[in-house]
Structure 1
Amino acid sequence: MMAVIPATWDMYDLIQGVLQAPWYHMVFEVALVLLIMKIYYSQSFSPDKTVLTEKEKETLVAEWVPEPLAPEVPDDHPILVGMDKYCIEGQNGKYVKVNGKSCINLATFNFLSMVGRKEIEDVALQALKVYGVGSCGPRGFYGTMDVHIQLEEDLAKFMVCEEAILYSYGFATIASAIPAYSKRGDIIYVDENVGFAVQKGLTASRSNIRWFRHNDMEHLEQLLIEQSRLDKKNPKKAKVTRRFIVVEGLYLNSGDICPLPKLVELKWKYKVRIFLEETMSFGVLGATGRGVTEHFEISPDHIDLISCSLENAFGSTGGFCCGKKFIIDHQRLSGLGYCFSASQPPMLASAAIQALKILQDKPHMLVDLRENSEKFHEKLKGIPDIAVVGDPISPIKHLVLAEPAGDPGLDIRTLEMVVDTAMNESVALTVARYLEPEEHLPKGPSIRLSVNCELTQDEITRSVEVIQRSFQTVLQKLRTRSPEVSSPLESVQQDKKSEVASR
């Protein structure tokens, strides 16, 4: 009882406190108590329960139409049709066998002809007998093998960096690296022409994205200046906001090389970090194939993170990042593709080690690749009715129509007809494909051409002649359409129906 009723002196203090309290305070408390009592004693609203008969239930179930799991894909989608039309038999080397026909391969990224090298195949077979096919575990859970550590050490030494980290999937490399460092509230300045893997990494980071025009350093600096002004207005927020520039060394979507010297200048001027995606430039640019840093003779120490792929010039699979030790160690704990994916198959890690040795022993392959790229570029420029997009030394070229129809669908179909015509003359080309609904910007229709270091002068000349004849044949056919066809689009549609019927 004494625990419930306060002592006499405490009761006196309580009464005095109530009497000395402002009147409006007492009114508010009394009103609050009354409101609580009203809510407590009032009856809760209970809507009338609708009871359905068995017949009504059966009718509702019969009328229900589930939402499709994915949007319907037409049977004549270009990618699905292409999978049936261009079935590869054997290796994707300098020559590729498509539906039984041997063709010069200008479609895949086998820049250094690592695919099919006997010394790589022998090493891979030896590793297969020792380690088996796969690792069946992430790197942190019994998925790390001695060949993974050796490959990371070799790549770090080759790239003149402190450490390297190996991923089992090339696409996941940069897509995992970006969100490992950049988080919500941070700012990323990105070239609008970056590839889809970079775009997925940006989405996963949930950072604030600032797009700048392709290779336009003036536009990038304008964005940096604008942000500097905002930082001065809110220095407290600026202190905890990290800033990154993400670019590609050699752009897959255009064949252009990034202006790295200017980027490094802006990095130090505005205190930002640079992430360099070298999927296409690794093993391609530079005197020894180290990429765009070596091409411009810039120390890798000026780049905060370099991401590369082993799936193109090296003919293996997977990718890697390299840089300072503390930066790479952070990825071992935060890189999703590293932490949660099975490690690279040891057989393919061994193949990559051997490919790196071959590149170091035979640097003339890079000279041959550069010369072939320049020869191709010069000869392609002489073809009428098309424009060549890309740097002359880039092994990636994009061929676009000089006078597009204004309808991307029509232009793509026209380019597909060129590819089919060239295939009939044993030259394998490909139309560049994109996930249009998910791309940051729509990409113009083009034929993407890849150069190989082992192509001879005769093969280059013959390939360009076939490409020129293919364009002339297709464009002439569209220009001299039959009287019953009222537009080039109808002409293309007629040809498409004939092809489908023949297949």
Structure 2
Amino acid sequence: METLPATWDMYDLFQSFLRTPTYHLIVEVCLVLLIIKLIFSKSYKPEKTVLSEKEKDELIAEWTPEPLVPDIPEDHPIIKLMEKNIVTGPPGKYINIRNKSCINMATMNFLGMISNKTIEEEAVRCIKKYGVGSCGPRGFYGTMDVHLELESHLAKFMNCEEAIIYSYGFATISSAIPAYSKRGDIIYCDEGVSFAIQKGLAASRSEIRFFKHNDTEDLERLLIEQQQKDKKNPKKAKVTRRFIVIEGLYLNYGDICPLPKIVELKWKYKVRIFMEESFSFGVLGSSGKGVTEYYGIDIDEIDLIAASLENAISSIGGFCVGKKYVIDHQRLSGLGYCFSASQPPLLAAAATQALGILEKDPGLVTQLKENCLRVHEGLNKIEGVQIVGLPFSPVKHIRLVEPSDDRDLDIQTLELVADRSIENGVACTVARYLEKEEKFLPPPSIRIAVNCQLNSTEIDRVVTVLNDSFNQVFSL
């Protein structure tokens, strides 16, 4: 093959140079000059300063480290409450507070699992076999057979394909939400959700649209607005995921979500439903399966159900249940699952034992409902207050009928009532919130937690003491 003269190569190179855009040549020249400068420039070497021992001591003496946390004043109300309300012993049906035995209306021990002897024995047996902690996340070396057993038991109990457990109840829903909903997605959320859900919303970085508490008409209004936006920008609509986040039984209100209507909206507007059931699991339905059983709705209608093991089950931790592909996604994306030490084996074993007790004796749920109705009926007779929450809800809020314009004053009034109740043998507590961080701050209230172990005499005693306490405080 005949080769072309070298002059042709130079000619082609020169023509290419002429065809190159001017700005491209300028950039390349600048890059060459920068490289030359870096090659020949001297590296920066700070001058070494030699200090004498005396100068070192003076610098150390002058240095004042910043505190890890801000100083808390000694007269802070929470400090006073902590010093005053010291509990000794297990918080069962009766609680020892201020060296006084009181009927416990403050602990979320709905089914009376705290101090159950069989659960205690199972926990002790587990400690002897596994020790106290798991010492690692589930994905590394923190998975024990008791964890897998609990997940299998929960999935079977809830009639779902799979379950996943977390080591901390608060972290469950706050990890589950950002595992699915990301930046650019839309979350429709009830204004009355708990603080754990609010933290999950913030972590998701999604667009959050709140609808009025338990107001499905307001929810549908938001869904219609988004539907109209989607028609204007169909390309964006195809890649935008939408979620409805609700609670089964609302901690801050003691009422139940209108799930049938929400499921109807789900299929009408093509959205997913995430439901948090920390206060309805083990409480609602004939066997304690929660809101879906209460309404008779197929659990597959709900895309994800999350709940805590720290209320009805009286252990520590939380869980999510749903379709296998939904749950498996959390094993790689659930922050509280991937990066936290797994649930201590003794707590998993205790939760499994408690779940077995609930399965064998669903009458616990029936007895809890009867106690809730009796407590609600009695509290409604107290003058000057309103009882917020459904009659069969184990979580009830006692609020002032005529609150003042000063929130702190109302809280002090309710604290006086709680103090007098404790002095007379009934332990209750003022509901606490992180007031500066709550999205929708509920009014001040005394929160009552009902359990299934109370008998009629004890319930009458609770109502009488609370009634007398309010009358005494109102007369001051």
Q: TM-score, normalised by structure 2?
A: 0.89
**In the TM superposition, what is the alpha-carbon distance from 1:69 to its structure 2 partner?**
4.3
Question: What residue number does 1:108 align with?
Answer: 107
Kindly provide the CA deviation profile for residues 379-411 of structure 1, in whole angstroms up to 9, marking residues without a partner as x.
111111101101111000000110111100000
Residue by residue, what CA displacement relative to the aligned partner does 1:222-246 show, whole Å, maximum 9, x if unpaired? 1111111111111111111111111
Trace 1:359-398 onto structure 2 (pairs within 5 A): 359-398=358-397
- Code of the residue aligned with 1:199 in structure 2: it is Q
Q: Which residue of 1 aligns with 2:313?
A: 314
1:31 & 1:333 partners in 2: Cα distance? 47
Helix, strand or coil for the counterpart of 1:268?
helix
Aligned equivalent of 1:232: 231
Q: What SS is found at the alignment partner of 1:142?
A: coil
CA distance in 2, matches of 1:225, 1:309: 33
Q: What's 2:246 paired with?
A: 247
Identify the residue that residue 469 of structure 1 maps to in structure 2. Answer: 468
Q: CA deviation at 1:335?
A: 1.0
Cα distance per residue 1:121-154 (max 9 Å; x no partner): 1111111211111111211222111111111111
Q: Secondary structure of 1:286's partner?
A: coil
Q: Name the residue aligned to 2:151.
A: 152
Q: How big is the shift at 1:76? A: 2.5
CA, structure 1 residues 428+265, in 2 after alignment: closer, same or farther (shift >3 Å)? same
Question: Residues 221, 35 of structure 1: CA spacing in aligned structure 2 closer, same or farther, 3 A cutoff?
Answer: same
In 1, the alpha carbon distance for the partners of 2:86 and 2:62 equals 43
2:403 match = 404
Specify the code of the residue in structure 2 equivalent to 1:256.
Answer: D
| Matched residue SS, 2:96 | strand
Aligned equivalent of 2:46: none
Quote the residue 1:175 is aligned against. 174
Displacement of 1:59 in angstroms is 12
Q: Which amino acid aligns with 1:423?
A: I
The 1:37/1:415 distance shift into structure 2, 3 A limit, reads same
Letter in 1 for 2:150: L
Match of 1:85 in 2: 84
* Other-structure match for 1:49: none
Deviation at 1:63, TM superposition (A): 9.8
* Secondary structure of residue in 2 paired with 1:140: coil
CA gap 1:462/1:59 in 2 versus in 1, 3 angstroms: same
CA displacement, residues 53-81 of structure 1 (integer Å, 9 cap, x when unaligned): x9xxx999999987654444332323221
Q: CA 1:472/1:88 → structure 2, altered by over 3 Å: closer, same or farther?
A: same
Deviations 1:79-109 (Å, cap 9, x if unpaired)? 2211111111111111101121100000010
Shift of 1:175: 1.1
Structure 1 residues 192 and 66, CA gap change in structure 2 (3 angstroms): farther
Pair 1:332 & 2:297 matched: no
CA distance in 2, matches of 1:408, 1:120: 42
Partner AA of 2:159 in structure 1: V
1:121 alignment partner AA: E
| Counterpart amino acid of residue 257 in structure 1 | I
> 1:258 aligns to what?
257
Deviates more, 1:314-323 or 1:335-344: 335-344
- Matched residue, 1:434: 433
Residue by residue over 1:144-191, the C-alpha shift from the partner in whole angstroms, topping out at 9 and shown as x without a partner, is 111111111111000000000111111111111111111111111111
CA distance in 1, matches of 2:373, 2:145: 40
Which residue of structure 2 aligns with residue 498 of structure 1?
none
Cα gap change, 1:35 to 1:452, in 2 (>3 Å): closer
Q: Cα distance 1:370–1:72, how it changes in 2: closer, same or farther (>3 A)?
A: same
1:305 and 2:265 equivalent? no
Gaps of 5+ in 2: 38-50, 52-56
Counterpart of 1:392, as a letter, is P
**CA 1:476/1:31 → structure 2, altered by over 3 Å: closer, same or farther?**
same
Q: CA 1:238–1:464 in 2, change beyond 3 Å: closer, same or farther?
A: same
Counterparts of 1:33 and 1:180 in 2: how far apart (Å)?
A: 45
1:136 matched to 2:135? The reply is yes
Partner-residue secondary structure (3-state), 1:141: coil
Q: Deviations over 1:188-241 (max 9, x none)?
A: 111111111111111111111111111111111111111111111111111111
CA distance in 2, matches of 1:314, 1:34: 71
SS across alignment from 2:151: helix
- Give the letter for the 1:327 counterpart: V
2: distance between equivalents of 1:14 and 1:120?
A: 85
Distance 1:189 1:270 in 2: 12
Counterpart CA distance in 2 for 1:67 and 1:301 is 52
Residue type of the alignment partner of 1:81:
K
| Rounded Cα–Cα distance in structure 2 between residues aligned with 1:165 and 1:217 | 30
**C-alpha spacing 1:399/1:230, structure 2 compared with 1 (3 Å):** same
Residues in 2 aligned to 1:76 and 1:88: alpha-carbon distance in whole angstroms? 21
**Match in the other structure for 2:40:** none
Q: Distance in 2 between matches of 1:469 and 1:116?
A: 30
Shift of 1:10: 4.9
Counterpart in the other structure of 1:282: 281
Structure 1: which 5+ residue stretches go unaligned? Answer: 1-5, 42-53, 478-503
Give the secondary structure class of the aligned counterpart of 2:140. Answer: helix
State how 1:5-24 maps to structure 2 within 5 Å. 7-12=6-11
Kindly report which structure 2 residues correspond to 1:202-241, keeping only aligned pairs within 5 A, or say none. Answer: 202-241=201-240
TM-score, scaled to structure 1? 0.85
The one-letter code matched in structure 2 to 1:448 is R
Indicate the percent of aligned positions where both proteins have the same amino acid. Answer: 62
Code of the aligned partner of 2:125 = Q
| Residue 15 to residue 403, structure 1, CA distance change in 2 (3 Å) | same
- Root-mean-square deviation (CA, aligned residues, Å) is 2.8
2:54 corresponding residue in structure 1: none
Q: State the 1:362 CA deviation.
A: 1.1
Amino acid at match of 1:264: V
Once residues 14 and 362 of structure 2 are traced to their aligned partners in structure 1, the CA distance between those partners, rounded to angstroms, is: 95
Instruction: Tell me: CA distance 1:73–1:33, structure 2 relative to 1, closer, same or farther (3 Å).
Output: closer
**Structure 2 residue 73 is the aligned partner of structure 1 residue 74:** yes
Structure-1 residue corresponding to 2:445: 446
